[in-house]
Amino acid sequence: MAQAKSSDILVIGGGVIGLMTARELASAGAKVTLVEMSDTGQQASWAGGGILSPLYPWRFAGAVTALAGWSQRAYPGLCAELFETTGIDPEYSISGLMILDPEEHADALAWAAAEQRPLEVLTRARMAEKEPELATDVRKALWLADIGQIRNPRLTKALRAAIAPKVNIREHEEVLELKAQDGQVRGARTKVGEIAAEHVVVCTGAWTAELLAQLGRKPDIRPVRGQMILFYARPGQIRHLTLFRERYVIPRRDGRVLIGSTLEEAGFDKHTTAEAKEELYRIATGLFPLLKRTPIEDHWAGLRPGSPSGIPYIGPYPGVAGLYVNAGHYRNGLVTGPASARLLADLLLGRDPILPPSRYTLDAPRG
């Protein structure tokens, strides 16, 4: 067994949530170890689309909207800082989001008025001006001009590089068991040995319930598979984010175009399926016929950490002092990541929290 090495704080899981949490804690001067069972940033945080807004934001509980709003304000500064310190560009950009579902108009307009968010109803002519290659019968679209995106695989790479000088990162080391004694967390046992720590933060995404079950109580988090396909178009052919009937189109700066995503209950099975590929292809080429002349470059699946109403669990684990959870971000872990990490760090370090924490506890009602 490897020698136990003490750390103030052990963060388990190196997705966007674990990386951002480790970054917040290390910036406050804590001695942090991050342990990840494969490489950092290769699971849901790699597979996601990087849209920096909940889809149809008016459908979400205030608990999610509050995290998203805080993070949306933080993202430009965070990405600029990451680019400057690491040389890796997370490609933050304000792409604007066009929503084509006519039945959403009334709710959207009420939400925009209440939240004071810019929202415009575009006529057919204005839609064509903004997105000349879009083919649709829809006569009016919603336009959310301030919605941004990041290129999530680059974001996690930049986060890893930014924290590497300050955080002890241990990859390919699965945590098998959480260690607790007399109501106090002691660390974790990995396949390599024991890591002693005064505080442990569980950021294991879709795997969180399995890891915490041994302590008796577990959050209601389950894997929800999402598949995406990727085309390689020319830069600028598709200009904005488009959303229609729960499926979306994301153009990257280099011309790559992502279409996603499915919502499937398939346990921890991360295989892709021919049916999903066909469906996504049909939707993509229906909205943007130019994609018929563009080869599919990739097709993948990821496991979202699904939670009731998509409200993440952020805060202390009841009955075990020093143990914390930051998981269950479902479809919004990228857009809510910065606020979730800051809130968790505030709670663990005893600072004034950026948001009221009661909505995110293990016991909070989630509808």
Ligand X SMILES: Cc1cc2nc3c(=O)[nH]c(=O)nc-3n(C[C@H](O)[C@H](O)[C@H](O)COP(=O)(O)OP(=O)(O)OC[C@H]3O[C@@H](n4cnc5c(N)ncnc54)[C@H](O)[C@@H]3O)c2cc1C
**Residues making contact with ligand X (CB under 6 A):** 12-18, 35-38, 42-45, 47-51, 174-175, 203-207, 211, 226, 228, 260-261, 302, 304-305, 327, 329-335
Q: State how far the alpha carbon of 12 is from the alpha carbons of 15, 90, 335, 355, in Å.
A: 9, 23, 21, 23
Which one, 86 or 262, has the nearer CB to ligand X? 262
Backbone angles phi, psi at 225, to 5 degrees: -75, 140
Measured N-to-C along each axis, helices 62-86 and 152-163 cross at an angle, to the nearest 10 degrees, of: 60
Which one, 113 or 164, has the nearer CB to ligand X? 164
Residues 6+ apart with CB under 8 A from 256: 230, 231, 232, 233, 297
Which one, 1 or 125, has the nearer CB to ligand X? 1
Q: Which of 237, 206, 263 lies closest to 55 in space, CA to CA?
A: 263
CB of 243 to ligand X, least distance (A): 10
CB of 46 to ligand X, least distance (A): 7
What SS3 class is residue 63? Answer: helix
What SS3 class is residue 351? Answer: coil
Q: Are 323 and 180 in contact (CB under 8 A)?
A: yes
CB of 280 to ligand X, least distance (A): 11
Which one, 29 or 76, has the nearer CB to ligand X? 76
Which one, 174 or 279, has the nearer CB to ligand X? 174
CB of 125 to ligand X, least distance (A): 29
Both tokens assigned to 350: 């005893």
Distance of alpha carbon 17 from alpha carbon 330, whole angstroms: 12
CB of 35 to ligand X, least distance (A): 6
